[in-house]
Amino acid sequence: MKEKIKSEEIVKITPYWEIEDIYLVEVNLDLYEGISNDDTYKKLQGTTNKWTTFGNPVNELLSSVDIEDCIINIDKIRMLNIHL
């Protein structure tokens, strides 16, 4: 995925209101021209074994260890919510 990212910026890091010692990290990614949302979605498939998708075409992805049998393959990450 790194080869598709032109720039990245951490917008903010805030405590998650519902769970102690959990943080919300908001990141902006600027992708190179010609990279479609579908390309991005396919590349993210290896990040977790379960995605809930929203929109037609897909414009939001959600994965959480609170979803039954969900495994996120990034250490210390409990939830991913991606807006395309």
What tens digit of pLDDT does each residue of 43-62 get? 777 788 998 988 988 778 88
- Say how far residue 29 (Cα) sits from the centre of its chain: 11
The radius of gyration of the chain from alpha carbons, rounded to an integer in Å, stands at: 14
Domain of residue 68 covers: 2-83
pLDDT category of residue 18 using cuts at 50, 70 and 90: confident
Q: What is the rounded end-to-end Cα distance, in angstroms, of the chain?
A: 14
How many structural domains compose the chain? Answer: 1
